[in-house]
Amino acid sequence: MTTNKNAIINHSREINTLYKIVDKLEQRIATLEKVLQSHAKCIGELREEDIKTWTTKNTSGDTTIWVGKNGS
């Protein structure tokens, strides 16, 4: 009878361990989903903005050229 009782206790411990592992995985997945949403939002904002670059034309005076999406 003791062997059966020990088997049940061990089985219960194993199940609790699995629940803890699953809980940690769910927490990590939730964190990754939040990070992914944040990155997607940033990427969307970057795509909406005009891309602006500037170059220096010569050493006598800096000339800034702004380039947008449509070359404006």
**DSSP letters along 21-51, please?**
HHHHHHHHHHHHHHHHHHHHHHHHHHHHSPP
| pLDDT tens track, the chain, 72 positions | 678 999 999 999 999 999 999 999 999 999 999 999 999 888 877 777 655 544 444 445 555 555 555 544
Domain ranges of the chain: 1-72
DSSP label at 13? H
Q: Find tokens 């990155």 and name the residue.
A: 39
Contact call for residues 69 and 52 (beta carbons, < 8 A): no
pLDDT at 43: 83
pLDDT at 64: 53
pLDDT at 50: 55
The amino acid at residue 39 is H
pLDDT at 69: 57
pTM: 0.56
